[in-house]
Homo-oligomer: A and B are copies of this chain.
Amino acid sequence: MTPVARPFSHAIDRLRAVWLRPTRQRLALAKLLFDGCDRHISAEQLHGAALAANIRVSLATVYNTLHQFTEAGLLREIVVDAGRSYFDTNVSLHHHYFYEKSGQLVDLSGDMIHMEGIPLHSPDGRRVSRVDVIVRVDG
């Protein structure tokens, strides 16, 4: 049995594992992001959440951190609309509903859609890094 979570050291370990210094800002953002439930969050939203939790952090650092986490594989960036991008704390293989009107992004369980014929390489032999499926809903 896994013991009760020790969120602080969890976050530290997570950062150490990907060679990012566990600074005050990165720890605080990691705790907000990886608190248990998966989420799709924009930089502005995370910045707002941080301020609401009395964590002083600049928007620039939120952007830097989100990109560093993404590069390290702790997050996945999802682009749904020109000029809006979300960061997904669920990095397992899954796809999304996107509600055009509200801008909401919702998970589609990973095994709901089966795809065949997805190439592993591009026509000129380059490796496919990711396949994004977005199911767009008008309302």
Contact = CB atoms under 8 A, between A and B. Distances in A.
A126 B122 contact: no
A135 interface: yes
Interface of A: 79-85, 97, 99-100, 106, 108, 112-119, 122-123, 126-139
**3 tightest A-B CB contacts, nearest first:** A126-B139, A82-B85, A122-B137
A54 B39 CA distance: 49
| A interface, over-half SS | strand
A114 B113 contact: no
Contact of A127 (B127, B131, B133, B137): B137
Given A79-B79, A82-B83, A123-B97, A118 B135 contact: yes
A139 B118 CA distance: 18
Contacts of A137: 122, 126-129
A113 to B, nearest CB: 5
Given A79-B82, A116-B116, A129-B136, 19 more contacts: A79-B80, A82-B83, A82-B85, A97-B123, A99-B122, A112-B119, A113-B115, A113-B116, A114-B115, A114-B116, A115-B116, A115-B133, A119-B135, A122-B139, A127-B137, A128-B136, A129-B137, A131-B134, A133-B133
Contact of A133 (B83, B99, B129, B131): B131
